[in-house]
């Protein structure tokens, strides 16, 4: 009997010390639980007899897992490669000059690199079977990171096992929700996926148009002035490519560096194409424009082009790079780069340092190709003369994309038969 008055006193005390909106919310939640347990459970609708259930099951036709596909879709018509991919490649029985490769320096066929990779295979096996932070780090990984940092003249580097994930992981490791990123409208797909993963606010400026970029930066300044408290917490990034794979054009790095300093931006540069192709010693865009490395906060690059291996790397200050070892998703959760491919990258760097004349030779060839391709009457060329990536477009526009695709397919098939391979 004594417990009942005590219980009512406790309830009264709780009601007096609890805000009204909390009581209303808890009451609503209690009624919702009661409704789910008793009302909805008992009102599931009509119950079928066993015969009706069997009839429904017999007449059920599930939707196909894959929708009907056009058998003539161009992606279903692939060419068959029947040889090692290098300067020349056998496609559908035709020995072709391979103009569809990113093996710019021809290191994919280098016998010394192949021998070093085979020796590493015998020592370490095929793969590491683990991410870098969990029994996946071998001495060759540390050697490669040290060599890349020294070659680029930076404090530290970090190596990823896949070029695409390098770029797509490095950007969201720093840019987060609430940050602002300014990017060229022609950036590659890995940068686009990295921007999506960052959940930042993205502003795209017209390709290589510094006036349009500054317009966006001025507009951002105006937004910051309206809300200085938010602006104090907002970080601003600028993302560009050394050589844009979608256009073959070089980004105006000195102008980007000037805007970086003026508007206090963090500059991320993807040198997947320019690394090993630009500059007297292949150091990339910074060497080409003679820009101090300290002006670029993070340099990223895939090793699947000039280095003729797999993976990618980022170089920068110790503070910048070390952060990726905990926040770079492609680094933390992917198996590390196979040792034989790691050694291939080290051996390729040996060639970079011992034969720097190869870069001048590549640039000379790029100029010659630019001159020859520029004379085509039915095709137009888009690329910088030093770029190893050249884009050819049909000079006369067609009525629709299907007609244009059909024409391009015919051209590709014809040049393949005539011992050239384009893509």
322 touches 111 (CB < 8 A) = no
Please state, in angstroms and as integers, the Cα–Cα distance from residue 358 to each residue in 278, 291, 300, 354, 372, following that order: 11, 22, 22, 10, 21
User: Cα 346 to the chain's mean position, in Å?
Assistant: 23
- Tell me what pLDDT residue 138 has: 92
> What are the sequence ranges of the domains in the chain?
74-107+356-419, 112-352
369 touches 248 (CB < 8 A) = no
Six token digits for residue 119: 């020796």
Concatenating the DSSP letter of every residue in 47-60 gives: PPPHHHHHHHHHH-
Please state, in angstroms and as integers, the Cα–Cα distance from residue 100 to each residue in 62, 77, 163, 189, following that order: 43, 17, 18, 18
The CA radius of gyration of the chain, in Å to the nearest whole number, is 30
List the pLDDT tens digit at each of the 423 positions of the chain.
555 666 667 777 776 677 777 788 888 888 888 887 776 555 555 677 888 888 888 898 888 888 888 887 767 777 788 888 888 888 888 888 888 889 999 998 899 999 999 999 999 998 888 888 888 899 999 999 999 999 999 999 999 999 999 999 999 999 999 999 999 999 999 999 999 999 999 999 999 999 999 999 999 999 999 999 888 889 999 999 999 999 999 999 999 999 999 999 999 999 999 999 999 999 999 999 999 999 999 999 999 999 989 999 999 988 888 899 888 999 999 999 999 999 999 999 999 999 999 999 999 999 999 999 999 888 899 999 999 999 988 888 888 888 888 888 888 888 876 665 555
278 touches 284 (CB < 8 A) = yes
The DSSP symbol for 280 reads: T
Strands 180-184 and 236-241: parallel
404 touches 394 (CB < 8 A) = yes
The phi and psi torsions of 175 (rounded to 5 degrees) equal -80, 130
- Tell me what pLDDT residue 83 has: 87
- Tell me what pLDDT residue 26 has: 83
**What do you get for the CA distance between the two ends of the chain, in Å?**
90
**Total-model pTM:** 0.81
Side by side, the strands of the sheet bearing 94-98 are: 88-91, 94-98, 420-421
- Tell me what pLDDT residue 185 has: 96
- Tell me what pLDDT residue 408 has: 83
Six token digits for residue 52: 């009706």
Bridge partners (DSSP) listed for residue 91:
81, 94
User: Cα 99 to the chain's mean position, in Å?
Assistant: 24
Other CB atoms closer than 10 Å to residue 124's CB: what's the count?
17
State the DSSP H helix or E strand holding residue 299, giving kind and residue range, or none if neither: strand 298-302
Beta strand spans in 126-252 (E)? 156-160, 180-184, 201-205, 236-241
As a CATH number, domain 112-352 is: 3.40.640.10
Coil, helix or strand for 131?
strand
- Tell me what pLDDT residue 63 has: 84
């Amino acid at each position: 009997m004594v417990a009942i008055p005590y219980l009512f006193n406790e309830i009264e005390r709780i009601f007096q010390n609890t805000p009204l909106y909390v009581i209303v919310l808890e009451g609503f939640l209690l009624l919702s639980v009661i409704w789910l347990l008793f009302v909805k459970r008992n009102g599931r609708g009509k119950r079928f007899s066993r015969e009706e259930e069997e009839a429904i099951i017999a007449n059920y036709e599930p939707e196909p897992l894959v929708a009907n596909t056009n058998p003539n879709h161009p992606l279903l018509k692939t060419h068959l490669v029947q040889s090692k991919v290098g300067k020349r490649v056998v496609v559908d029985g035709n020995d072709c000059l391979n103009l569809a490769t990113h093996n710019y320096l021809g290191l994919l066929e280098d016998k010394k690199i192949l021998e070093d990779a085979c020796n590493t295979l015998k020592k370490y096996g095929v793969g590491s079977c683990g991410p870098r932070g969990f029994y996946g780090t071998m001495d060759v990984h540390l050697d490669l990171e040290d060599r890349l940092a020294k070659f680029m003249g930076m404090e530290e580097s970090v190596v990823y096992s896949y070029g695409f994930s390098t770029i797509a992981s490095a950007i969201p490791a720093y840019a987060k929700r609430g940050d602002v990123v300014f990017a060229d409208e022609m950036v590659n797909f890995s940068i686009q996926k990295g921007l999506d993963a960052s959940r930042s606010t993205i502003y795209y400026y017209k390709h290589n148009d510094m006036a349009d970029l500054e317009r966006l930066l001025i507009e951002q300044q105006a937004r910051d002035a309206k809300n200085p408290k938010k602006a104090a917490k907002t970080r601003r990034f600028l993302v560009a490519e050394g050589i844009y794979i979608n256009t073959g054009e070089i980004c105006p790095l000195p102008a980007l560096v000037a805007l970086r300093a003026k508007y206090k931006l963090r500059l991320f540069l993807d040198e997947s194409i320019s690394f090993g192709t630009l500059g007297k010693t292949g150091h990339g865009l910074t060497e080409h424009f003679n820009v101090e490395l300290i002006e670029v906060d993070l340099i990223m690059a895939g090793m699947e082009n000039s280095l003729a291996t797999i993976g990618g790397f980022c170089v920068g200050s110790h503070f910048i790079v070390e952060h990726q070892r905990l926040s770079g998703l492609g680094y933390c959760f992917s198996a590390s780069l196979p040792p034989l491919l790691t050694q291939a990258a080290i051996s390729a760097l040996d060639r970079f340092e011992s034969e720097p004349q190869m870069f001048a030779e590549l640039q000379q060839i790029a100029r010659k190709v630019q001159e020859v391709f520029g004379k085509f009457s039915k095709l137009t060329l888009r690329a910088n003369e030093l770029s190893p990536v050249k884009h050819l477009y049909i000079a006369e526009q067609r009525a629709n994309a299907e007609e244009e695709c059909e024409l391009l397919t015919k051209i590709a098939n014809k040049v393949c038969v005539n011992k050239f391979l384009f893509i």
